[in-house]
Amino acid sequence: MKTAILSAFHPFRGGIAQFNGNLYAELGKSADVKAFNYSRQYPGFLFPGKTQYVSAGDDSFPVQSEAILDTANPLNWPSAVRKIRRWQPDLLLMRYVMPYFAPSLGYVARRLKGGSCKVVAIADNIIPHERHIIDRPFTKYFLSGLDGCVTLCDAVAEDLRKWAPELPSKVIFHPLYSHFGEKLPREEAERILGLTPGMKNLLFFGLIREYKGLDILLKAFDTLPEDYQLIVAGECYGPFDKYQELIDASPAKDRIHLFRHYIDDADVKKYFSAADLTVLPYRSATQSGVSSASYHFEVPMVVTAVGGLKETIGDTGTGLVADRVDAQSVAERIIEYFSDASLREKCVGSIRRERERLWTGFSRELLKFADEL
């Protein structure tokens, strides 16, 4: 099946580009695949981080792609359609992350659908974490241009059924990242990061946004014994002031280690190699690329019971689920994890079983779904 993928690829940074690079490489083993990239992903004023692009020294997943779609310029969209048509794909795959992309991707989808090309989206979210008045009309416009949709967890599939009940869909769980390299010796990672050796190391990793609940974890950390230290690694999208105020007032502030910048792919292994436990204290969630990286490095997780985290972490036995989205419940699960050596062994064993679910199976199921539409 001749397959085109329209989404963000290298040199754009972040989990979406990482995912797409892995998918492109796997599909390319058995099919003719072409990557169509954004010429502009976001206008600068809409992007909350420092840069949308990988740094010069980052060894993120490189993909040869053709940059064709300016999401902010409707005058460019017909040209993007023509360039995809010229390649004559049997299948067009799109990544749908948030309603901002609905007008541009929906325009392309509607003009490819109905001919010899099937149009399928891989949807990270249907209902976004941060709500706006445009969400419903934009997302419905996009979904109506598809032949089918793949979601990465059951929670997103439920949202999809509410908004587009007639659209053919399939759940194929988020595969595991494997491009971050081998795990470092723990002592080496702790030395590189300037951590105190011999402590229980908690990791909060990834972009810092309101819905990810770093403030919940900081409050939970205040209640933990003195043999714990917290690693916070990631760029903050929005003001960091409220988190800094919590840290400054914390009796445990000397054991909180901040790395407030985007973590290049080459450096991801340093943080997970030092960690005993990854904590995802999210207020809302679907699936998480952070959990995929945590699996790669065999680091169990404590998560909150929101979105797809309960099914992908709690139900698989790869971590513990906090009953409530609050500091006390998160702290209780952290203490429980470190209090039971057999539980820790069980979680790591479950992760090793989950690691067998890599990109080959995901790609096979994706193409099978598209072929049956």
230-243 pLDDT tens trace:
999 999 988 899 99
Quick one: pLDDT band at residue 354, thresholds 50, 70, 90?
A: confident
- pLDDT value of position 23: 92
Look up residue 135 and give its DSSP letter: H
- pLDDT value of position 57: 59
Where is 206: in which H helix or E strand? none
Q: What percentage of the chain carries pLDDT values higher than 70?
A: 92
Q: What share of the chain is helix, strand, coil (3-state, %, to 5)?
A: 45, 20, 40
Quick one: pLDDT band at residue 357, thresholds 50, 70, 90?
A: low
- CATH 3.40.50.300 fits domain 186-354: no
pLDDT of 60 strictly over 70: no
Interval 152-171 mean pLDDT = 92
Quick one: pLDDT band at residue 341, thresholds 50, 70, 90?
A: very high
What residue spans of the chain are helical by DSSP H? 15-27, 77-87, 102-112, 135-143, 154-163, 186-193, 214-222, 241-248, 268-274, 289-296, 309, 327-339, 341-354, 359-372
Interval 307-333 mean pLDDT = 90
CA 38 to each of CA 20, 51, 214, 251, 350: distance values in angstroms, whole numbers, following the listed order: 13, 15, 31, 46, 38
Pairing between β-strand 301-304 and β-strand 319-322 as defined by DSSP bridges: parallel
What is the residue-averaged pLDDT of the chain?
90
- pLDDT value of position 306: 87
- pLDDT value of position 140: 94
> Which CATH code is given to the segment(s) 3-175+358-372?
3.40.50.2000
pLDDT digits (tens, 9 = 90+) for 178-219: 668 889 999 999 999 999 999 999 999 998 989 899 999 999
Best CA proximity match to 257, nearest among 175, 201, 302, 341: 201
pTM more than 0.85: no
What is the Cα–Cα distance from 3 to 33, expressed in whole angstroms? 5
- pLDDT value of position 120: 97
Residues 307-317: b if buried by 16+ CB within 10 A, e if exposed: bbbbbbbbebb
- pLDDT value of position 256: 98
- pLDDT value of position 3: 97
- pLDDT value of position 13: 76
* Residue indicated by tokens 């280690």: 257
- pLDDT value of position 129: 64
What is the location of CATH 3.40.50.2000 in the chain? 3-175+358-372, 186-354
- Assign 167 to helix, strand or coil: coil
Quick one: pLDDT band at residue 9, thresholds 50, 70, 90?
A: very high
- pLDDT value of position 314: 82
Interval 305-309 mean pLDDT = 82
CA quadruple 201, 225, 282, 152: dihedral sign: positive
pLDDT digits (tens, 9 = 90+) for 74-133: 999 999 999 999 999 999 999 999 899 999 999 999 999 888 899 999 998 898 766 677
